[in-house]
Amino acid sequence: MRRLMQYVRGRTDGPRRRRALPRWMRKGLLALTILAMVAGYFVTVAQVSRNGWIDAQLQLGREWLSGRVANAGFQLKSVVAFGASQTEADVLRAALAVEPGAPLLDLDLQALRHRVEALPWVRVASVERTLPDRLIVRVIEREPAALLQQNGQLALIDTTGTPIPNTPLSPFIDLPAVTGAGAATATPALLDLLQEAPALAARVTAATRLGERRWDVRIDDRVWVRLPEQQPLDAWLRLAELETKHGMLRRNLLAADIRNPQQWVFRLPAGMRLRMAIENNGS
């Protein structure tokens, strides 16, 4: 009887407790709730943005921040440039187009970099701000390599074969002149080849690209050297070695045809032809 009374009392004491939901179900309901909130947020943003309200508020925020930055003293006072030797300060300043007193944190550094890199002499540039009031510009300028003769005109090109426009040519009159179809794009490789014998390369005054296949180079503005299409470096190095030993290019020669590795032909002014057999193992 006591057990029965305990059972009845246990069934009648207080309200009956509900069973807790399984953990996976609670997590699922929470995820659905968050998803619904996020979807509602994006719907609201999409509706508001149709009227341009967000754009207007962002613009107001930028203007407010610019004013705060300026009032805090972060205003442009100086521009410092490094690496600009051919680019004049006035030209660089005009390309930047920023005035003293401009809010420093409001400057678009990427746009400034693009404007600097559009200058004729600038190959690569970087622009950075230094608080509280300085803009630092670093440039790597193009390296002049040759004078390209094309359609009766001369143009300065750099070590990549890219023209450097709007540049006076008189300071670079000692650079070699290159001409011929495809000369501009082939000049970098030619210059690398010639520099393998730097003493002889310093005496090159001109080069002509023939058939977009090979080069004739002019030494001391007097002797034309016909380089081969295949393995021109080998021929150039052997010529430099012979020139060091015998100085034959300083003699009364008009041309040296070194296209055939077994037989080089030297042309003399009087029309006489001198053939020199070049053995594979020496001169």
pLDDT computed for residue 23 by the predictor = 56
Question: Mapping DSSP to helix (H, G, I), strand (E, B) and coil, where does residue 49 land?
Answer: helix
Q: For position 227, what pLDDT does the model report? A: 98
Structural domains in the chain, sorted by start? 78-141 (3.10.20.310), 159-277 (3.40.50)
The Cα 41–Cα 43 span in angstroms is 5
Q: What is the DSSP letter of 86?
A: S
Helix segments in the chain, DSSP class H: 2-12, 23-49, 53-71, 89-96, 109-117, 183-194, 198-201, 232-246
pLDDT value for 10: 45
Residue carrying the six token digits 């023939």: 210
pLDDT at 42: 52
Q: In sequence order, what are the beta bridge partners of 138? A: 82, 126
Task: Please provide residue 54's backbone torsions phi and psi, each rounded to the nearest 5 degrees.
Answer: -65, -45
Residue 279, pLDDT score:
46
Q: CA–CA separation, 82 vs 134, rounded Å?
A: 13
Backbone dihedral angles phi then psi of residue 20, each to the nearest 5 degrees: -70, 145
- pTM (predicted TM-score): 0.67
Per residue of the chain (283 residues), give pLDDT as tens.
444 344 334 444 445 555 666 654 554 455 446 545 545 555 555 555 555 666 665 555 555 555 554 545 689 999 999 999 999 999 999 999 999 999 988 899 999 999 999 999 999 999 999 988 999 999 999 999 999 999 889 999 999 999 999 999 999 999 999 999 999 999 999 999 999 999 999 999 999 999 999 999 999 999 999 999 999 999 999 999 999 999 989 888 899 999 999 999 988 876 555 554 444 444 4
pLDDT of residue 31: 45
